[in-house]
Amino acid sequence: MVKCHLSRILGERKLKVAEVARDTGINRNTLHRLYNETATRVDLEVIEQICRHLQIEVGDLFEVVDSDE
């Protein structure tokens, strides 16, 4: 299973999904799905935009975890 750390990262930086959507042009619903970990697929361009905007690496945003957790 792939875990998305967007909610933790935004929380640490006190950023809102709406702010990231406005600044990056990424659809707010796409960001909400990532934030709530309900996204089943994401374009690589979206991942790149998020990483560049937040100045993080892909590995900071996503993590592969065992399904048991």
Tens-binned pLDDT, residue by residue, of the chain (69 aa): 999 999 999 999 999 999 999 999 999 999 999 999 999 999 999 999 999 999 999 999 999 999 765
Three-state DSSP state, 16: coil
- Residue type for position 52: R
Sequence ranges of the domains in the chain = 2-64
pLDDT at 67: 79
End-to-end Cα, the chain, rounded Å: 9
DSSP class of residue 34?
H
User: Regarding the domain delimited by 2-64, which CATH topology (the fold level of the hierarchy) does it fall under?
Assistant: 434 Repressor (Amino-terminal Domain) (1.10.260)
Instruction: Enumerate residues 6+ apart whose C-beta is below 8 A from 61.
Output: 4, 5, 6, 9, 47, 50, 51, 54
Which pTM value belongs to this model? Answer: 0.91
